[in-house]
Amino acid sequence: MSGDIASNLARVHARIEAACLRAGRDPASVRLLPVTKTLPPDRVREAYAAGLDCFGENKVQEARGKAEALADLPVRWSVIGHLQTNKVKYLTRFASEFQALDSLRLAEALDRRLQAAGQSLDVFVQVNTSREESKFGLPPEEVMAFAKALPVFTALRVRGLMTLAIFSEDTIRIRQCFRDLRAIQQRLLQEGDAAQNWRGLSMGMSGDFEIAIEEGATVVRVGQAIFGPRPLPDSHYWPGAQ
């Protein structure tokens, strides 16, 4: 069964390389984060057999269940979906990366928990570049102030910004979301705290990762192009999506 994963994966890698070539970028500058939400642990095992060892999940409890089921494998977990402050304790137990930081309250709760455990965590700040109500993330105009408030949370290792593009068929509008994220990153690199690392741009999914790479993505989060279509439409996961 892992044969389909391996061949899909080869196709995704080829598409990443082609997009990098078009954009004059080194393919090694783009990290593929396979997204395993809704997949059973056995399917993630197949993905591991196909050579993958870091997985993205959008729900912390689902992710934790899989992390426990696959505790025998040396895999890492990245939580890429909204986290409620009262679920911080679940995340810090198994995740090595969190890509949906979007409030100071959450930053504080994460930092407190991590400090107590003597741990640290890689984080990406999520920005709502499409300004859709259904999406989480900071409004673009709030990111600079947010970034300035982050250094006190010393257990959080800032790695960059994350966004989901607008749900639309219109590639110009999709591209604009990625451009907006990059523009915010450029400001942070110029005006932000020199100790913070804003070089990461996590943007692009199955439907739009090539556009994201052309616009500077350093992490693409890809589920369906590797694992096949999910049984439920995206509106199930993101109310308001088409």
If one asks whether residue 128 binds ligand PLP (CB under 6 A), the answer comes out as: no
If one asks whether residue 35 binds ligand PLP (CB under 6 A), the answer comes out as: yes
Nearest approach, Cβ of 89 to ligand PLP (angstroms)? Answer: 21
Of 106 and 192, nearer to ligand PLP (C-beta) is 106
If one asks whether residue 30 binds ligand PLP (CB under 6 A), the answer comes out as: no
If one asks whether residue 212 binds ligand PLP (CB under 6 A), the answer comes out as: no
Q: Residue 53, class by beta-carbon neighbours within 10 Å (0-12 exposed, 13-18 middle, 19+ buried)?
A: exposed
Please give the Cα distance from 152 to 174 (Å, whole number): 34
**Looking at the DSSP assignment, which residues form a beta bridge with residue 138?**
127
Nearest approach, Cβ of 58 to ligand PLP (angstroms)? Answer: 4
Of 137 and 192, nearer to ligand PLP (C-beta) is 137
Query: How many residues sit close enough to ligand PLP to count as binding (CB under 6 A)?
Result: 13
Contact 51, 242 (CB under 8 A): no
Which residue has the CB atom at the shortest distance from ligand PLP? 223
If one asks whether residue 8 binds ligand PLP (CB under 6 A), the answer comes out as: no
Listed ranges 60-68, 129-137, 165-173, 220-228: which one lies at the site for ligand PLP (CB under 6 A): 220-228
If one asks whether residue 34 binds ligand PLP (CB under 6 A), the answer comes out as: no
The interface with ligand PLP within residues 51-90 (CB under 6 A) comprises 58, 80-81
Q: Which of 2, 96, 176, 206 binds ligand PLP (CB under 6 A)?
A: 206
Listed ranges 67-75, 83-91, 105-113, 223-231: which one lies at the site for ligand PLP (CB under 6 A): 223-231
If one asks whether residue 134 binds ligand PLP (CB under 6 A), the answer comes out as: no
If one asks whether residue 96 binds ligand PLP (CB under 6 A), the answer comes out as: no
Structure token digits, residue 210: 């090539």
Listed ranges 47-55, 102-110, 175-183, 218-226: which one lies at the site for ligand PLP (CB under 6 A): 218-226
| Backbone phi, psi, residue 232, to 5° | -105, 145
Burial code (b: 16+ CB inside 10 Å, e: under 16) for 2-40 equals beebeebbeebeebbeebbeebebeeeebebbbbbbbbe
Q: How many residues are present in the chain?
A: 242
Contact 81, 106 (CB under 8 A): no
Residue of 41, 14, 46 lying closest to 30 (CA atoms): 14
Please give the Cα distance from 162 to 203 (Å, whole number): 6
Q: Rounded to whole angstroms, what are the CA distances from 191 to 139, 145, 149, 154, 156? A: 18, 11, 13, 20, 20
Residue with tokens 């890429």: 80
Residue of 166, 170, 189 lying closest to 240 (CA atoms): 166
The interface with ligand PLP within residues 138-197 (CB under 6 A) comprises 164
Nearest approach, Cβ of 48 to ligand PLP (angstroms)? Answer: 18
Residues that bind ligand PLP (CB under 6 A): 35, 37, 58, 80-81, 164, 205-206, 221-225
